[in-house]
Amino acid sequence: MPKKTKPAKRKAPAKSGKPFAFISYRRADSSAASRWLYVAIQRTFGPDSVFMDTEAIRVSDQWPHAISHALRKATHLVAVIGPQWLRVTDDFGRRRIDRDDDWVRREISHALQQGKHIVPVLVANADDLKPEGMPADIQRLSKIQHFDLRDDRWETDLKLLLGELEQMGFERSSVGAVRYPKPAISITEIPQSELSALLRTLPGWTEEVSTLPGQAPLQRIELRKSFEFESFPQAMEFMREVSEPVTKAQHHPRWENIWRTVTFWLSTWDIGHKPSQLDIALAREVERIYKKYGGEQKASRKARRARATP
């Protein structure tokens, strides 16, 4: 719950510079919550009020340069901290936070050194930061009043947080209250090495990269597969069956039916249109349902025809 002690009144930034928030986060820790927070700040205070790497960096940009430029421009740094923020490790088992080249550490350290407004936001029931578990150059972060975005009170807490930002000098561009849906903030992106291994357990599913409609050059990464049926009514019945677990999970695919073929594209909007465990689970459920329609036999016949073709 948000701390009951009243935080010290923050001075609004000088009028010479418009407030600009930089969202610092770890993809393996809080990518979904960070994306939803980015959308909320952008909708409330305008598109030029906030920066988040996966949203603002274009394909042709040099990633380190774009990050550094946005960090220098920022008047406020919003540090999104989940349960694994300190625990995320590299390929050799070393904590990323302990590395001098860790981007999150560098972002926090820069903001502290430059005296920027820092707003620590704890998500997914993350514990308070303890200075003894942090590198010396960013230990002061643990002493800054944090704000909790709780899973079960997301909309209420988000309104309070946006109100805090308004007190810091951010000006609303939206008229009236803006309703924000509750996200599944514990979703994280699947690392590429892990995703490749998971796809090997899902024959026929492939990664497909395409441009987001109306948002070029932003891209989406989806898991794709097509399924064939004996008839159009059978394809329709298959889609009806798949809609049941989709509705239960509240995770909807992008799909298409052309006569006897049904094609799926699976990705998770919450983490920037990238595959998550929700997509892997749905792919497995689709495969399970497809077996009822002779899916394994069709795949076997197709493989035999492919081997017989000179």
Locate CATH 3.40.50.10140 in the chain.
21-167
Instruction: Kindly provide the b/e burial profile for residues 14-32, where b requires at least 16 CB atoms within 10 angstroms of the residue's own CB.
Output: eeeeebbbbbbbbbbbbbb
b/e for 196-227, b at 16 or more Cβ within 10 A?
eebbeeeeebeeeeeeeeeeeebebbbbbbeb
Rounded Cα gap, residues 151 and 122, in angstroms: 11
Kindly list the distances between the CA atom of residue 115 and the CA atoms of 66, 108, 164, in Å, as whole numbers in the listed order. Answer: 21, 11, 18
Give the three-class secondary structure for 195: helix
d(CA 121, CA 54): 19
Contact predicate 286/251, CB 8 Å: no
Give the right CATH number for 21-167 from 3.30.70.1560, 3.40.640.10, 3.30.2290.10, 3.40.50.10140. Answer: 3.40.50.10140
Q: What are phi and psi of 140, to 5 degrees?
A: -60, -20
Output the pLDDT for position 32: 82
Amino acid making up residue 156? T
Helices (H) and strands (E) in the chain, counts: 9, 9
**What angle (nearest 5°) sits at the alpha carbon of residue 250, between those of residues 295 and 47?**
120
* Segments in the chain below pLDDT 70: 1-16, 54-63, 174-186, 215-218, 295-310
- CB atoms inside a 10 Å sphere around CB 289: 16
All residues at 6 or more sequence positions from 172 whose CB lies less than 8 Å from its CB, including other chains: 44, 45, 166
Chain position carrying tokens 């305008």: 46
Give pLDDT tens digits for 248-305: 888 889 999 999 999 999 999 878 788 999 999 999 999 999 998 886 555 555 545 5
What is the fold, at CATH topology level, of the domain defined by 192-308? Answer: Gyrase A; domain 2 (3.30.1360)
Alpha carbon separation from 79 to 144, 230, 234 (Å, rounded): 11, 53, 50
The Cα-based distances of 179 to 78, 102, 122, 267 in angstroms read 21, 35, 21, 24
| Distance separating alpha carbons of residues 83 and 90, to the nearest angstrom | 17
Sequence-ordered list of residues with C-beta below 8 angstroms from that of 194, at least 6 positions apart, any chain: none
